Amino acid sequence: MKLCIAVPGGVLPALDPRFEAARIMYRIRGSRLYCARRGANARGGIMVINASGYTGGGPVSALLEEIGVTVAVREFDGVVLDTGELDARRRALPLQAALASGLVSDISPRPVFVREALGKSVPGAQVLIQTALSAGSLSRHLSDAAERFGISRLALECDRIHMDFPLPCPDGAGVELDRSRFSELRERASRVFFSDALCVNYFFRAEKTSSREDSSSRMVLFDDAESMRRKLELAKCLGIERAFLYYPHVSDILPQLLPD
């Protein structure tokens, strides 16, 4: 499996050459492409475009040509079209689908990676499937995606999570923990468990809710090197050939994620 390390600014620190850089350095505003200054000289790897600001206002053909020239000049091996938050994706879905479709045809044979919401709209694109689940089964989640899109079209978006959830949690929505807060809670945990279904670690904790010493139950889900390796191995066994990881979240465990 090829591991692509997504790095803000586009400049990846010196790492094992088996990692591929996914350069987060491009943004679409209106219908123009902009590049972060820090990574202006970067070459190779995967081009990541934040397309959440794509609102049109200009010919799509001009934007596609600009992206195509950039890919050729910078020798990128593919393009990730990051469509941003859910509401932004819904508002601009037709425009982004048209843009992604154009990228697939104009930049071929280089792969174009899109979020799951665009998977059916762009049949030729690779589809990013998220591994950070709070319920169900990761194996089933990936198998369902393979049935919908075909296993050859799937790529993994392997986010490392540190999330705090109330119990019960019908909507599955948790609160993201920064490293300091997570470390504090982890040190207090008397016992840590592992979910084979989700491929993630977890522990329970109590939180005071009033001056009367009432407390509510909560659960913290978190990834370490071993849980991330299990997610990658599961995807590899299913036939998924590429995974994206976000460098700031995995910088301390990267060497442990390389295949033996």
CATH code where residue 50 lies: 3.20.20.80
Residue 3 and residue 240 in contact, taking contact as beta carbons nearer than 8 Å: no
Per-residue tokens: 129: 């499937």
Q: Are residues 216 and 252 in the same domain?
A: no
Per-residue tokens: 121: 């709209």
Share of the chain above pLDDT 70, in %: 92
Query: How confident is residue 13, by pLDDT bands cut at 50, 70 and 90?
Result: confident
- Provide the domain limits for residue 193: 162-222
Q: Are residues 212 and 145 in the same domain?
A: no
What is the CA angle 139-145-149, rounded to 5?
A: 150
CA distances from 180 to 90, 106, 176, 177, 240 (A): 34, 45, 12, 8, 34
Q: Are residues 88 and 198 in the same domain?
A: no
Q: Are residues 105 and 181 in the same domain?
A: no
pLDDT in tens, 43-101: 899 999 998 888 777 788 889 999 999 999 999 999 999 987 655 556 667 778 888 89
Q: Are residues 200 and 182 in the same domain?
A: yes
Q: What's the one-letter identity of residue 44? A: G
96-107 in b/e form (b: 16+ CB < 10 A) is: bbbbbbbbbeeb
Q: Are residues 139 and 192 in the same domain?
A: no
Q: Are residues 36 and 141 in the same domain?
A: yes
The H-assigned helical ranges of the chain are 60-74, 86-107, 138-149, 179-188, 225-238, 247-250, 254-257
Q: What is the largest CA-CA distance in the chain?
A: 65
pLDDT in tens, 162-218: 999 988 777 777 899 999 999 999 999 989 999 999 999 999 998 766 555 556 789
Count of the separate structural domains present in the chain: 2
Residue 125 and residue 118 in contact, taking contact as beta carbons nearer than 8 Å: yes
pLDDT in tens, 109-128: 899 999 998 899 899 999 99
Whichever domain contains 172, its CATH number is 3.10.50
206-215 in b/e form (b: 16+ CB < 10 A) is: eeeeeeeeee
Cα–Cα dist 61/31, whole Å: 10
Q: Are residues 34 and 137 in the same domain?
A: yes
In a 13 Å sphere around the CA of 223, the CA atoms on its Cβ side amount to 26
Per-residue tokens: 111: 């792969």
pLDDT at 74: 93
Instruction: Say which residues have a Cβ less than 8 Å from residue 177's Cβ, sequence separation at least 6.
Output: 162, 163, 164, 185, 220, 222
Neighbours of 178 (CB within 10 A): 8
